[in-house]
Structure formats: C-alpha cells, structure tokens
Amino acid sequence: MSKPQVLQIGALSERFNRTLAERYDVTALWQQADPMQFLKEHGATFELLVSSARFGCSGEQLACLPNLSVICSFGVGCDPYPLEQLRDRGIVISTTPDVLNDCVADLAMGLMIDSARQLTAADRFVRAGHWLSGNYPLTHKVSGKKLGIVGLGRIGQAIARRAQGFDMPVRYHKRRQDPDSSYGYAADLLELASWADFLVLACPGGAATHHLIDAKVLSALGPQGILVNIARGSVVDQAALVSALLDGSLGGAGLDVFDGEPAVPQALFGLPNVVLLPHVGSATQETRLSMEELVLANLYAFINNGQLLTPL
C-alpha cells in the first residue's frame, strides 16, 4: 500500500525528519530549487501539511494548495498562519500545547532571576577575572516582588504557579477576565505595569497583540521594573524598549524573543541588567521530543480517524 503524501515546509530535527519520512511519502519543500515554483506546479497534490510555529504557511503558499485539508504544526504559536483563510477554507490545524508549558514557564522564571540578580553578567565578571579586583555590585531581590502577567493562558498559568513558590503577588491582564482564576485581574495594562515589579509577556503574537507593550507601558513599569518576554518579539515596540533600557527609564529585561530574530539589537549587548536568549523557551531534549511526538500523533489521528488530537 502506498504511503500518504505529506508536504513538509521546513526542516525540524533530524530525528523528526527521518521518522516522518519513514512513515509517509514526504516532500521537503525547503529542498526544492524554487519552492514557490514547485508549489505552483505541484501544490494540488497535497492534502497533508507539516510545518512549525517558525515556518508557518503564508497566504501565498496556501493559495497554491487547493486540496489541503490539515496542517500539523510544531509549537504553539499560530502567528505565521493566515488563520482566517484557513477557517474560510475549512482547513484544520493542530499545534503542540501543554507539553511545552513547564519548560517555557521555567525559562520565564530563569529570566526573571537572571535579569534581577544578574547571574549571567556576574558569571562574565568572574570569567573575566574582575573578582580578583573587587566584589560584584549589589543587584535586586526577586522573592516577594509583584508579578504582572500579560496573557493568562496555559503558559501564563504555569508561570503564576511557580511564582507562588517565590511568594510573589500575581495579577494578570488579558482581553477578558478569566472566571476560573483567583489572581487579580487588571483590565488596564498601564495599571498592571505601574503596579508590577516584573511584567512577563505570555500572550500570543500576531496582529491583536502587535506592539501592545509600547513606550507608555514601559514607562509605567519604570526604572525599577523588569520586562520578561517569552512570547513573541512583535508584542513589544522594540525601538522603545531599547531606548528605555539605554536611558535607564526601564530597570531591566529578560528576552527570549525579538522582532526580526535571529538579529538582536546590538545596543543591548553591553547592559548587565539585560539577558538575551536565542528563542529557547521550549528547547530541551524532553520537551522537543514530546512536541515532535504530538505532531506525529496528530497527523496519524487525522489520517486514520479524521480527528486532530490537539486542534487549534
């Protein structure tokens, strides 16, 4: 019996690519000499698509796939997919929720601690031999500080639970109050930023949250406040963030995501109160394996019973 045909937009791990190719008749779009031309000529062949929160599938690509019925995506972010077009065409999409909550929330805590206590900067200080000439300057306490969370979804809730262990009062902002949550709700983001010592971004990217964190929010967070972003670079007005960090009107930042990543504003490289990570929120052996398994399980479930396990 012939294997189902699958179009894969971008390379994931070698292990994943190999397993997918063992189980299905995979066409690797990134290996085509001219991917767009390939889609124009052969797009109608494909009903099944595998992609990721990084590669997505553009409206232009989607237009070349008239028979597509499903997208199985690696990651939780849906910002690189034209969701309205998918809905209009009845194309279903699965993501990999829940399995990455722990690692992304752990990283958010790590960024809070590192940007306040300057762990990586102090490590650089030791390695450079500066300790021999004097002590590292005093930094800022984390436990007991006020934590504002923007977006109280699965990851935001995992961060809030961890913050309980640090005796941090928690409040959150999202479009609508969560009736099941006992954390304080701030309908007004500026109010939350003025109240918080740490403002952690855990909301989706995309048009609805584009530059939600602007110069006004940063100024409300203030010279003692710390911004942590494990969501998407697009949520923050990056030029405003860089200037607030450079002029000291914002206390610090822990950033795992950037607008235009992997390019990162070089102006931040010398600041000890800023921690810069290369989008590694879910990047552990354990979590990446679970994410891969969930993509494969979704594809299998769709092919065999027409149902996704974790539909958007």
Least separation in angstroms between residue 100's CB and ligand 8YV is 5
8 Å CB contact between 312 and 78: yes
Question: What backbone phi and psi angles, to 5 degrees, belong to 161?
Answer: -65, -45
Instruction: Pick the piece of the chain touching ligand 8YV (CB under 6 A) from 73-81, 86-94, 270-278, 296-304.
Output: 73-81
| 22 tagged catalytic | no
Task: Phi first, then psi: give them for residue 214, nearest 5 degrees.
Answer: -110, -170
100: contact with ligand 8YV by CB under 6 A: yes
232 is catalytic: yes
- Nearest Cα neighbor of 204 from 157, 240, 152 is 152
Q: Of 17-25, 72-80, 113-121, 293-301, which segment contacts ligand 8YV by CB under 6 A?
A: 72-80
Q: Angle 128-131-136 (CA atoms, 0-180°, nearest 5)?
A: 105
Question: Does residue 110 touch ligand 8YV according to CB under 6 A?
Answer: no
261 belongs to the catalytic site: yes
Q: Is 121 in the site for ligand 8YV (CB under 6 A)?
A: no
**Torsion, Cα of 74, 262, 258, 108 (10° steps):** 60
Nearer to ligand 8YV, 23 or 54 (CB): 54
Q: CA–CA separation, 222 vs 146, rounded Å?
A: 13
Gap between the Cα atoms of 105 and 161, Å rounded: 9
| Lookup result for tokens 């990047």 | 283
Number of residues that make up the chain:
312
> Rounded distance, CA 10 to CA 17, Å?
10
Can residue 109 be called a binding residue for ligand 8YV (CB under 6 A)? no
Q: Which of 42, 54, 162, 279 is catalytic?
A: 279
- Cα separation, 197 vs 170, in Å, equals 10
Among 52, 94, 273, 310, which residue interacts with ligand 8YV (rule: CB under 6 A)?
Answer: 52
Binding ligand 8YV (rule: CB under 6 A), the pick from 77, 110, 252, 265 is 77
Residue in 171, 173, 232, 288 annotated catalytic: 232
Q: How far is the CB of 109 from ligand 8YV (least distance, A)?
A: 17
Compute the least distance from the CB of residue 12 to ligand 8YV, in Å.
Answer: 8
In 3-state terms, what secondary structure has residue 201?
Answer: strand
**Residue 282 touching ligand 8YV (CB under 6 A):** yes
Q: Which residues bind ligand 8YV (CB under 6 A)?
A: 52-54, 74-77, 100, 279, 281-282
The set of catalytic residues is 232, 261, 279
